[in-house]
């Protein structure tokens, strides 16, 4: 019989798939471009990986006691991972979300049994109503409360150093030459990047994809619409020594590529995936057939059906000229 003891044991070991159509313009000397598909994790994103490792570490250190409550500000994906691990191990969850997060994502957290508190985005982080302030207060005031803090928890990058990085190295037989990923907390790029650099003796090039406006690509923290990536501060989980290059990508390009991935590659993925692929293709243009580029796709497109995959929403934000399906299709192809 082949089965896992619990859904938690299904986290990780995600597949690599070649991108065939969106790479067509690269011509016969194109590098091999492989996508690491993280939406096949049980919670639907790469964040399942850090959830289980952060909980393991907190159980070991005693920070999380039996029957305790996990309190975390999260834009959704980390929450889903934590909610799954928590229910399997008998913890409660309270998540704090900014109001720009889609209702669908919030309902997913509630479906797993978590409590969700929604806070305004348009206030200063120091404001008592901000999602940082509210989560600090709830973590302090909740009996048995523990805040994983994915932005400073070393188990976040460590989980990628111990799982995602070695998987990519083994799956490519050590032939990977370039790794491209978006950065939010920076856990993925820091952990995977460090592992691949060490395994290859410094040869693997690590490229961060970043929304225009985010600090990682020299921005001021001005708003952008791609979710889960970019920051207006430098988290301690982001190791500034790892990335060789940061490529800034605009929302319009990110969303157009996200739609192409669904339509042309059969990959229904989120906006940060489109962003990472845009950056990956810019890098791929200067590579040759001897190179192997791996781009990580963090989550599924199902959480964005009423945004990126909604023609009217796209038109409202000016990413396409009309809310007419055909025009949108032509513009985005």
Residues forming the site for ligand PMP (CB under 6 A): 45, 47, 75, 77, 182-188, 227-229, 270, 272, 298-299
Residue 260 · residue 23 · CB < 8 Å: no
Residue 98 · residue 92 · CB < 8 Å: no
Residue closest to ligand PMP, measured at CB:
228
Task: Find the shortest distance in angstroms from Cβ 186 to ligand PMP.
Answer: 5
Active site residue 47: yes
Residues making up the chain, counted from first to last:
333
Handedness of CA 55, 61, 62, 63 (dihedral sign): negative
Q: 23 or 158, CB closer to ligand PMP?
A: 158
Active-site residue (options: 47, 105, 147, 307): 47
Look-up of token digits 């994103």: 45
Query: Rounded to whole angstroms, what are the CA distances from 214 to 19, 40, 78, 155?
Result: 27, 28, 20, 24
Task: Find the shortest distance in angstroms from Cβ 47 to ligand PMP.
Answer: 6
Q: 94 or 189, CB closer to ligand PMP?
A: 189
Q: Among all residues, which ones are annotated catalytic? A: 47
């Amino acid at each position: 019989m082949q089965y896992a003891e619990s859904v938690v044991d299904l986290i990780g070991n995600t597949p690599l798939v070649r991108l065939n159509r969106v790479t067509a313009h690269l011509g016969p000397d194109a590098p091999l471009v492989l996508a690491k598909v993280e939406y096949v994790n049980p919670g639907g994103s790469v964040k399942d990986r850090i959830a289980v490792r952060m909980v393991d570490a907190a159980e070991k250190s005693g920070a999380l006691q039996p029957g305790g409550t996990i309190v975390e500000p999260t834009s959704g994906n980390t929450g889903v991972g934590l909610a799954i691990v928590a229910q399997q191990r008998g913890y409660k969850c309270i998540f704090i979300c900014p109001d720009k997060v889609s209702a669908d994502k919030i309902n997913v957290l509630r479906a797993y049994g978590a409590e969700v508190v929604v806070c305004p985005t348009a206030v200063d982080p120091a404001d008592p109503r901000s999602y940082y302030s509210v989560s600090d207060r709830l973590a302090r005031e909740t009996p048995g409360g523990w805040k994983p803090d994915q932005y400073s928890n070393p188990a976040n990058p460590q989980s990628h150093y111990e799982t995602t990085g070695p998987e990519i190295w083994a799956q490519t037989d050590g032939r990977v030459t370039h790794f491209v990923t978006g950065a939010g907390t920076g856990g993925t790029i820091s952990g995977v990047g460090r592992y691949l650099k060490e395994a290859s003796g410094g040869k693997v090039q690590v490229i961060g994809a970043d929304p225009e406006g985010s600090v990682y690509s020299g921005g001021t923290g001005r708003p952008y619409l791609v979710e889960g990536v970019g920051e207006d501060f430098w988290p301690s989980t982001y190791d500034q020594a790892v990335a060789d290059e940061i490529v800034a990508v605009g929302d319009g390009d990110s969303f157009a590529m996200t739609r192409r991935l669904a339509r042309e590659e059969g990959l229904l993925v989120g906006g940060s995936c489109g962003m990472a692929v845009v950056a990956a293709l810019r890098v791929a243009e200067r590579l040759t057939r001897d190179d192997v580029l791996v781009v990580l796709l963090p989550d599924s497109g199902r959480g964005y059906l009423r945004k990126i995959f909604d023609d009217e929403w796209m038109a409202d934000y000016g990413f396409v000229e009309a809310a007419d399906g055909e025009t949108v299709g032509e513009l985005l192809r």
